[in-house]
């Protein structure tokens, strides 16, 4: 491994030097401000000292947002064909009609009963048992296959059990063999467990472990806010771990005509927030850390702790084991997490994990990402959209 230390007047200048000499695969080992020059201890100037390293192995080719940015910059969203999300909107309207026809009062009562039952289950003696936590014999005839289906898509057995029994109390019994009807009704019921997040601060910080898709999600959101919502967007990245990743994000921002600032220290971050005060939305990318790496997590927390101007979103990859998702939330909740962003929904067969998490964590959801395409494969977390996505296991083609 090659390790070198660089000095520069700005963070960007230091990163440029590192990239030129060590390449895009270089990683930041440490960074700090030091004083240079002057007469004895007088008139010294503060500069950045950054230590970076790179493996001797040939660099891997990095994925870039540049082509995507060129495709979408200075143009409106393509009208080529009805997008996946637009087609899902049609199904959502049908679900809304279903709620009206079924009677809002009956569904609200059902959901209230289910939530009460779920709370009772938490204190039950057999709560932690995996094989005997439900009495399947009590599931009404005709509902067993839907109970099984809910379990297959990742909804916990104890939740699926209560939902199946509650669903049976209000559904049209003559249509139990109509799977399309039952699944639409089920989508309407599941939607009641989700709450859409509405940010109260414009500075949105994306937190989460390595590899959950924070940078890709930020690129999608930047394009949506700028091109679809016509907002003035700014980007701050505190993720200087990989030079190549920083460079890609800065190039993306440049092509999209979005101001972007690199921050290494908390002082840099505070100055960056002030510099972007005239924007409508500021999206902040952060370095990914293992939830078990407490020392490195504290470094991240130190950057954002106590700043009331921030809206903190925890990014969770749904193709991860539920226990790991819960552990991630536990470790990151040292910070006041405002909402959740679910990613990689397209990479799992059990999207019902989303329901399990919101029931346990009691947090609203901001966005759901289901693919790599920027900015298409993401949708606002409307409750009916999420529940339909869970029940159908994918975004529908219409």
What residues form DSSP beta bridges with 200? none
pTM of the predicted protein model: 0.74
Per-residue pLDDT at 126 exceeds 70:
no
pLDDT digits (tens, 9 = 90+) for 285-318: 998 777 777 877 888 888 898 889 999 999 999 9
Query: What pLDDT does 331 receive?
Result: 92
- Three-class SS state of 196: strand
Where is the domain boundary, 160, 193, 226?
193
215 and 172 both lie in a single domain = no
Say how many domains are in the chain: 3
- Domain annotation covers residue 303: yes
- Domain annotation covers residue 81: no
199 and 287 both lie in a single domain = yes
Regarding predicted confidence, which is higher, 396 or 169? 169
Rounded to the nearest 5 percent, the helix, strand and coil shares of the chain are: 45, 20, 35
201 and 258 both lie in a single domain = yes
Per-residue pLDDT at 396 exceeds 60:
no
- Domain annotation covers residue 104: yes
Q: Which H helix or E strand runs over 107?
A: helix 104-122
- Three-class SS state of 292: coil
Q: Give the lowest-confidence range in 29-33, 61-65, 188-192, 281-285.
A: 61-65
Vertex 92, ends 117 and 141: CA angle to 5°? 45
Where is the domain boundary, 193, 209, 237?
193
Range of the domain at 98: 93-193
Per-residue pLDDT at 73 exceeds 70:
no
Phi, psi values for residue 130, rounded to 5°: -95, -35
Query: What pLDDT does 261 receive?
Result: 93
For residue 153, give Cα distances in angstroms to 32, 156, 316, 352, 393: 48, 9, 18, 5, 7
201 and 285 both lie in a single domain = yes
155 and 244 both lie in a single domain = no
Report how far residue 69's alpha carbon sits from residue 252's, in angstroms, rounded to the nearest whole number: 6
100 and 139 both lie in a single domain = yes
pLDDT digits (tens, 9 = 90+) for 233-256: 999 998 876 767 788 888 899 989
- Domain annotation covers residue 31: yes
Where is the domain boundary, 169, 193, 217?
193
Q: What is the CATH number of the domain that holds 328?
A: 3.40.50.300
175 and 280 both lie in a single domain = no
Confidence of residue 60 (pLDDT cuts 50, 70, 90): low
Query: What pLDDT does 301 receive?
Result: 86
Query: What pLDDT does 218 receive?
Result: 95
pLDDT digits (tens, 9 = 90+) for 158-174: 999 999 999 998 898 88
- Domain annotation covers residue 159: yes
Q: Decide: 332 and 297 in contact? Cβ < 8 Å.
A: yes
229 and 329 both lie in a single domain = yes
Query: What pLDDT does 67 receive?
Result: 67
147 and 205 both lie in a single domain = no
378 and 318 both lie in a single domain = yes
What residues form DSSP beta bridges with 367? 341, 380
pLDDT digits (tens, 9 = 90+) for 187-223: 999 999 999 998 889 999 999 998 899 999 999 999 9
Phi, psi values for residue 319, rounded to 5°: -85, 10
270 and 280 both lie in a single domain = yes
Q: Say what percent of the chain tops pLDDT 90.
A: 45
Report how far residue 192's alpha carbon sits from residue 212's, in angstroms, rounded to the nearest whole number: 26
Most confidently modeled range among 13-22, 59-68, 86-95, 366-375: 366-375
- Domain annotation covers residue 330: yes
202 and 184 both lie in a single domain = no
- Domain annotation covers residue 318: yes
- Domain annotation covers residue 339: yes
């Amino acid at each position: 491994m090659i390790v070198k230390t660089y000095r520069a007047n700005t963070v960007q200048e230091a990163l440029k030097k590192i990239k030129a000499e060590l390449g895009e695969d270089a990683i930041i080992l440490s960074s700090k401000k030091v004083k240079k020059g002057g007469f004895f201890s007088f008139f010294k100037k503060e500069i950045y000292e950054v230590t970076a390293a790179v493996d001797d192995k040939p660099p891997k080719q990095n994925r870039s947002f540049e082509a995507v940015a060129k495709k979408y910059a200075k143009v409106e969203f393509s009208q080529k064909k009805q997008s996946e999300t637009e087609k899902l909107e049609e199904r959502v309207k049908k679900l809304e009609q279903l709620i009206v026809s079924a009677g809002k009062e009956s569904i609200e009562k059902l959901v209230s009963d289910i939530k009460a039952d779920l709370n009772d289950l938490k204190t039950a003696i057999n709560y932690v048992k995996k094989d005997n936590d439900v009495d399947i014999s009590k599931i009404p005839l005709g509902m067993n296959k839907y109970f099984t289906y809910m379990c297959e898509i990742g909804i916990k057995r104890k939740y699926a059990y209560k939902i199946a029994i509650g669903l049976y109390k209000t559904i049209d019994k003559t249509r139990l063999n109509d799977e399309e009807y039952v699944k639409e009704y089920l989508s309407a019921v599941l939607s009641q467990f989700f709450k859409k997040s509405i940010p109260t601060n414009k500075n949105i910080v994306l937190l989460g472990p390595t590899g959950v898709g924070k940078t890709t999600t930020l690129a999608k959101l930047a394009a949506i806010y700028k091109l679809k919502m016509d907002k003035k967007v700014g980007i701050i990245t505190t993720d200087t771990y990989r030079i190549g990743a920083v460079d890609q994000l800065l190039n993306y921002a440049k092509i999209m005509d979005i101001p972007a600032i690199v921050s290494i220290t908390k002082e840099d971050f505070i100055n960056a927030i002030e510099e972007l005060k005239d924007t409508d939305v500021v999206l902040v990318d952060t370095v990914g850390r293992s939830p078990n790496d407490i020392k490195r997590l504290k470094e991240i927390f130190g950057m954002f702790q106590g700043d009331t101007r921030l809206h903190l979103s925890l990014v969770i990859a749904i193709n991860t084991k539920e226990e790991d998702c819960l552990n991630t939330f536990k470790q990151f909740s040292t910070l006041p997490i405002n909402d959740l962003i679910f990613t990689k929904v397209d990479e799992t067969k059990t999207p019902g994990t989303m329901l399990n998490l919101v029931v346990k964590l009691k947090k609203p959801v901001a966005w759901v990402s289901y693919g790599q395409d920027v900015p298409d494969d993401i949708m606002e977390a409307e409750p009916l959209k999420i529940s339909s996505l869970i029940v159908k296991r994918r975004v529908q083609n219409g």
